[in-house]
A and B are shown apart, each in its own frame.
Chain A
Amino acid sequence: MIEILEARKGQIFEKGTEGTFDMACDKVSVAGSVSQRACVFCGSRVVLYPIADALHLIHGPVGCAAYTWDIRGSLSSGPELHRLSFSTDLREEEVIYGGEKKLYAALTELIGAYHPKAAFVYATCIIGLIGDDIQAVCRKVSDEQGIDVIPVHSEGFRGTKKDGYKAACEALFRLIGTDEQSIAAPHSINILGDFNLAGETWIIKEYYKQMGVEVVSCMTGDGRVDEIRRAHKAAMNVVQCSGSMTYLAKMMEKDYGIPFERVSYFGIEDTADALYKVARHFNDPAILKNTEELVRKEVSRIYPEVEAYRKYLEGKKAAIYVGGSFKAFSLVKALRHLGIATAIVGSQTGNREDYEYLEEICDEGTIIVDDTNPLELSRFMSERNVDLLIGGVKERPIAYKMGIAFCDHNHERKEALAGFEGMINFCREVHGSIMSPVWQFSPAKCLRAQKEEMEDANSIRQAAHS
């Protein structure tokens, strides 16, 4: 394998060559690495962001608000308050004398102007240092304004992005259970960990509707405060993006006795599995029948299309580098349907169990990485001669520069990739990029073709000699 930093060795594994699987994950990035990871605040912000009728006020200097202003395509079917950027824009004076007054004034003004259903106040790095008591300010404003004002303890340095997910879950948990009036059907669920990127929540919700299962709330795609308040009335929690939301599901299980299942809506089997898991949980003949019909109808509808794409893509090789590892599992499987082998797979936030499962489902020789960096990733991609990279915003140009196709499976996806129709969109995106005529102009492609020709010639020569 390529040369890697000593401190990173425990976070890289090549299946089949290194004996027993072991992965040192859950580590903070090595100081001085070009980490692709973000911080606690980022974790909280991405999870809570899609709640469209809440106020999201970022308490700190302007940057944290500026960089997270409408960058995530979490769609709303109604209010769009979440797409604005509110910041207390702390200046030197407040850093010295404290920002509580400014926070109080900002909250009061914003709630007066926008009448949100609830407000989230995000603490950024500096708040943890200057010691603003945001809890007290939130309580005061909450009493005065009569809405929930919830502090989110998301100081950037307090851990990794995962700790930010936790802080977000804690904030959500404060809202859950505050509506005692509503009732929910016995066959009802909460969708956890879908953020309605490109309208994905809507696709999933439609499936559940067809199955006869009531969706009480979605956390947080196309999210609404009132739905979250009564989420504890649901009979089951269905958790996607387990890295961000399992913590909440566990809290709800403990306090409200709501069982949960971890699922994924990416790819054919995983989507079908997810729906069946829910159907089996309720064990209601009508729901089971509806689910079977839905899955049969959808699979028979999309299968020929997937097969058509497979003709072009069979034999290609992919690299996957995504935020959460659960997504990586689904992608490995989804790519198999297209005849694409996964040569490299990694995530920013996977835990030990995740990587063990990943190792199980991957082919021999697959490289598994935790918290990689561009230099490593590019070397692996070049060594394994991959045709496709699946990743996020910072990975895209690296792939392109190397003449490698790319599919965004992160915030910037433009097409819904979830569910059965998401699979078709995924196939189309992968096909569109891998088969693009643009690669014929890329020097990398030419170099690669030359290399392959040489190898072919060599093997013919060798065969002739023997």
Chain B
Amino acid sequence: MLLRHTPETLTDRSALTVNPAKTCQPVGAMYAALGIHNCLPHSHGSQGCCAYHRSALTRHYKDPVMATTSSFTEGASVFGGQANLVEAINNIFAIYGPDIVAVHTTCLSEVIGDDLGQIINKALADGKIPKGKRVIHTNTPSFKGSHVTGFANMTQSMVQYLSEHTGKGTGQINIIPGFVEPSDMAEIKRNLSMMGIKGVLFPDTSEVVNGPLDGRFHMYPKGGATVSQITSAGDSAFTVSLGRTASLSAAKLLDTKCGVPFTNLDLPIGISAMDAFVDCLRKTAGVSVPDSIMVERGQVVDVMTDMHQYFYGKKAALVGDPDQLVSLVQFLTDMDMKILYVVTGTPAGEKFEERIRSFTGDDTVIKYGAGADMFYFHQLVKSGKPDLIFGNTYAKYIARDEDIPLIRIGFPIYDRVGHQYFPVVGYRGAMRLMEKILNAVMDRQDRDAPEESFELVM
């Protein structure tokens, strides 16, 4: 009854967000930066921002998350944060010894108007950046976009600062995976290797935030795309960017800066989106799809077929990040489920709505950006009584209040494990999603069935 205050009637709220369905840009930038090998993310702002982002990521991954802060004080806020950042860069290389520091701004340093490019140049001129080490930056004003925008901006900055076109043919393909889990990034790499494709995937947080317990604390875990890999992305033959919101801007920049052509696809969540991804890889790399992948796909179709009567007509309400929502909606409609509501706090734009509508038609309620929060989502759920809710951990209040099963997907997930290790992308990911959905649907059926129709075989 935690949300018992939520009334069913929708009212227009112009000035207010209640229970946000998004968070601010810097946390996305920090997460993206963790996807570079030997990288220390740096938050240019007050200490609290960095502490909050690290706590959020730690709660989500249950792994250490390292990042530094410029530790703004009143003085820095009046006179600008240049001195803090130059000192920070000096200290970071002296003590923590990363290969690269990835700086992002905060609302504070944005409003002060610190010019990070200029400050980094000054640090370089002053000899604060050791030879061979790199400092990159991105602007992540918290009052624009959302955490997904922050991820996109940092990914774009990787290209801006690091990728170079030298004219050497590398025969590799770039994959920009978007704001997905380390398990998803690993799954994409596994598929590339099954297809025999040489690929560069960045950012790559696999084995950074889901590393093994080996008895030691690693400031820089084993994983992550190396600086030289990201540099070489400028010489790749092609880029496949996954997800319009999180990945498109970096792919575009690689094209304009280094002349690497690209295709932007939906995140390969679900069978249709994965089919499109595999097909794109097959064509661009000129390879054939191996049997191993065909078997995995066939197994997905097999389960979809075996269980289609359980999916049929189930009503779903989804809240989350735009790129995940697009693919998820497509997958659910492929399974003959009915999409009632799609909500994201990220200002995802008309293209997002168009894409969702292309799968669902006109009846689905879609809301993004201002006013699209969990409170609004809850009101929708109250009015339409879906069979399933898809969302992050914060959707659990709604699920509990309305007694509707929740499929946890997205960011953050603070109360379950699994997302770190098991993907939702690829055919394997589709299988995992189906298992989750079926478990939720069937557990509910078992719970609610009268004794006479409580079934053993389902």
Q: A101-B15, A156-B45, A158-B74 are in contact. List 17 more A-B contacts (CB 8 A).
A: A31-B84, A32-B91, A33-B69, A62-B22, A64-B52, A65-B17, A66-B23, A67-B23, A67-B55, A80-B2, A89-B370, A113-B5, A124-B107, A125-B106, A130-B111, A397-B62, A444-B216
Quote the shortest CB–CB distance from A195 to chain B (angstroms): 17
Once the chains are docked, how many angstroms separate the CA of A419 from the CA of B355? 57
Identify which of A106, A159, A396 contacts B74 (C-beta below 8 A): A159
**Stretch from B140-148, B183-191, B292-300, B432-440 at the A interface:** B140-148
- Contact assessment for A374 and B69 in the assembled complex, using a CB-CB cutoff below 8 Å: no
Contact of B15 with A41 in the complex, beta carbons under 8 Å: no
Closest chain A residue, CB of each to CB of B92: A32
At the interface, yes or no: A114 with Cβ under 8 Å from chain B?
yes
Chain B residues with CB under 8 Å of A403's CB are 213, 215
Q: Contact: B143 with A92, CB < 8 Å? A: yes
> Which residues of A lie under 8 Å from residue B13 when comparing CB positions?
109
With a CB–CB cut-off of 8 A, which chain B residues contact A186?
A: none
Chain A contacts to B: CB under 8 angstroms: 5, 7, 28-42, 60-69, 71, 80-81, 83-92, 94-95, 101-106, 109-110, 113-114, 124-126, 128-130, 156-161, 374-375, 378, 382, 393-394, 396-398, 400-403, 442-447
- Contact A5-B95, Cβ < 8 Å, known A88-B16, A128-B77, A129-B112: yes
A5–B20 Cα gap in the complex (Å)? Answer: 40
Is the Cβ of B47 less than 8 Å from the Cβ of A39? Answer: yes
Which B residues are closer than 8 A to A by beta carbons? 2-3, 5, 13-20, 22-24, 26-27, 42, 45-56, 58-59, 62-74, 76-77, 84-85, 87-92, 94-96, 106-108, 111-112, 141-144, 146, 211, 213-219, 345, 370, 394
Q: Please measure, in the bound complex, the distance between the C-alpha atom of A126 and the C-alpha atom of B394, giving whole angstroms.
A: 26
B68 touches A393 (CB 8 A): no
Measured between C-beta atoms, what is the minimum distance from A375 to chain B in Å?
A: 6
**B217 to chain A: closest CB distance in Å?**
4
B216 touches A102 (CB 8 A): no
Which B residues are CB-close (under 8 A) to A105? 14-16
**A442, B215: Cβ atoms under 8 Å?**
yes
Contact status B26-A5, CB under 8 Å? no
* Main secondary structure on A side of the interface with B: helix
CA distance in complex: A393, B66 (Å)? 13
Q: How far is A61 from B345 in the complex, measured between Cα atoms in Å?
A: 13
| Contact of A110 with B216 at beta-carbon distance under 8 Å, contacts A61-B107, A80-B2 already known | no
Residues of A within 8 A of B58 (CB): 393-394, 396-397
Q: CA A429 – CA B73 in complex, angstroms?
A: 38
Q: Can you report 5 residue pairs joining A to B where beta carbons are below 8 Å apart? A: A29-B47, A33-B91, A39-B49, A42-B48, A92-B141
Task: Give the total number of A-B pairs whose CB atoms are below 8 A apart.
Answer: 246
A95 to B24, CA, bound (A): 15
* CB–CB B216/A89 < 8 A: no
Task: Report the 7 A-B pairs with minimum CB-CB distance, sorted nearest first.
Answer: A39-B48, A63-B24, A444-B215, A32-B88, A32-B91, A105-B15, A156-B46
**A87, B20: Cβ atoms closer than 8 Å:** yes
Q: Is the CB of B218 within 8 A of A32?
A: no
Known contacts A125-B106, A158-B74, A397-B58; decide if A65 and B20 are in contact (CB<8 Å). Answer: yes
A259 to chain B, nearest CB (A): 34
Report the minimum CB–CB distance from B411 to chain A (whole Å).
Answer: 11
Check A85/B217 contact, CB under 8 A, given A32-B89, A32-B90, A393-B58: no
A85:B47 contact, CB within 8 angstroms: no
Cα–Cα, bound, A282→B5 (Å): 43
A84 x B71 contact (CB < 8 A): no
In the complex the two chains form, is B143's CB within 8 Å of A398's CB? no
Minimum CB–CB distance from B379 to chain A (whole Å) comes to 12
Which one of A34, A64, A86, A92 has the highest number of Cβ atoms from chain B below 10 Å of its Cβ? Answer: A34
Residues of chain A within 8 A of B15, CB atoms compared: 88, 101-106, 109
- When chains A and B are docked, how far (Å) is the Cα of A113 from the Cα of B10? 13
Query: Are the C-beta atoms of A29 and B71 separated by less than 8 Å?
Result: yes
Measured between alpha carbons, how far is A68 from B2 in the docked complex, in Å? 17
A158 to B17, CA, bound (A): 25
Residues of chain A contacted by B53 (CB below 8 angstroms): 67
- Quote the shortest CB–CB distance from B382 to chain A (angstroms): 15
Residues from chain A with a CB closer than 8 A to the CB of B143 are 61, 90-92, 94-95, 126
